[in-house]
Structure 1
Amino acid sequence: MAFVYEQRVEFRDTDAAGIAHFSVFFTWMEEAEHAALRSLGLSVMPRQGRDPGGAESAIPQVTWPRVSAQCDYVRPLRFEDDVQVTVTLGKVGSKSLTYQFQFSRGEESIANGQVTVVCCSFVNGHLKSTEIPAEIAARLQTLVA
């Protein structure tokens, strides 16, 4: 099942031509990914000072650095346009995920993006890739296209 994130083009998001700058699509992809993870009860990275007995303590603490990101543009967005960012998971590996993002304005396709992330844990203050924990993988299955 897809996750849909709503966004409005703000003035700060536009370039001199008055259209959404290409770089803002990458920000929206990250915001949509974070919102999707939160909707599943997951965090983007371990939180300092978390109560070890808290409700989320059974979920392994991992983070997701990006290793690839791309976006193809079909139509421009302008100031105050509403855009829907639909998030699905395309490829799911043992240590990585590839998110697919479809940007639309109503029924109109605007852009398509893709971001690949790697599951990592902190070991002695350094990131180390790790297999996606089963509890997290189970929750992520709801995003598989």
Structure 2
Amino acid sequence: MYRHTLSDRVQFADTDMAGIVHFSNFFRYMERVEHDFFRALGMSIWDKSNEIPVEERVGWPRVHISCDFKAPLVFEEEFTMELLVEEIRAKTIRYVIRFWKNNGELCAEGKLVAASVRRDPVTGKMKAVNIPERIRDRITVAPAELLALPQIG
């Protein structure tokens, strides 16, 4: 899977005094659609299942995140988050996440890079590790034309 969408409505707590979504909330939205993407794949971003041995569990800290804003979202406005897998490397996944108003207008586009890491049981330090095959096998890179054209549908 390389594309996932999630619709939501702007909550009052997400807005500033003008009723516009505060920029910081776009980063929360990006994480929300990423977590929903993993659930759609039949997994969780948080490897705590007893089915997965502790030594095979991974975490996904962010190593880069950015967002360009095009148009505001306002209180009670419905919108759709579109996650596209832009690149998969041995230890990282790069996403493009677009935010669409219901009228089809692009209101923001973000980039998120998450690294696959495992905690060393002795030192407690995180170390980048290869993305496990059980995860890697379910994710593909979006076609170039989908990444290039900001359209939803």
Partner of 1:21: 22
Question: Which residues in structure 2 correspond to 1:48-127 (within 5 Å)?
Answer: 50-51=49-50, 54=51, 57=52, 60-106=56-102, 107-124=104-121, 125-127=124-126
- TM-score, normalised via structure 1 length: 0.88
Q: Aligned partners of 1:133 and 1:112: how far apart in 2?
A: 28
Q: Partners of 1:44 and 1:136 in 2: how far apart?
A: 10
Report Cα offsets for 1:16-61 as digits up to 9, x if no partner.
11111101100000011001011112221222xx43xx4xx38x42
List runs of 5+ in structure 1 lacking aligned partners.
none
Aligned residue pairs total: 137
In the alignment, structure 1 residue 41 sits paired with structure 2 residue 38: no
* Identical pairs, percent: 33
4+ residue segments displaced more than 6 Å = none
- CA shift, 1:140, in A, is 1.5
- Measured in 1, the distance between the counterparts of 2:128 and 2:42 equals 22
How far apart, CA to CA, are the structure 2 residues paired with 1:28 and 1:127?
A: 25
Counterparts of 2:44 and 2:63, CA distance in 1: 19
Q: Would the alpha carbon gap of residues 85 and 35 (structure 1) be closer, same or farther in structure 2, given more than 3 Å must change? A: same
Aligned partner of 1:3 in structure 2 is 4
Gaps of 5+ in 2: 144-153
Query: For residue 134 of structure 2, what is the amino acid of its counterpart?
Result: E
Alpha-carbon displacement from aligned partner over 1:82-113 (angstroms, at most 9, x marks no partner): 11000011011111111110100121111000
TM-score by length of 2: 0.83
Distance 1:61 1:144, change over 3 A: farther
Distance 2:41 2:119 in 1: 22
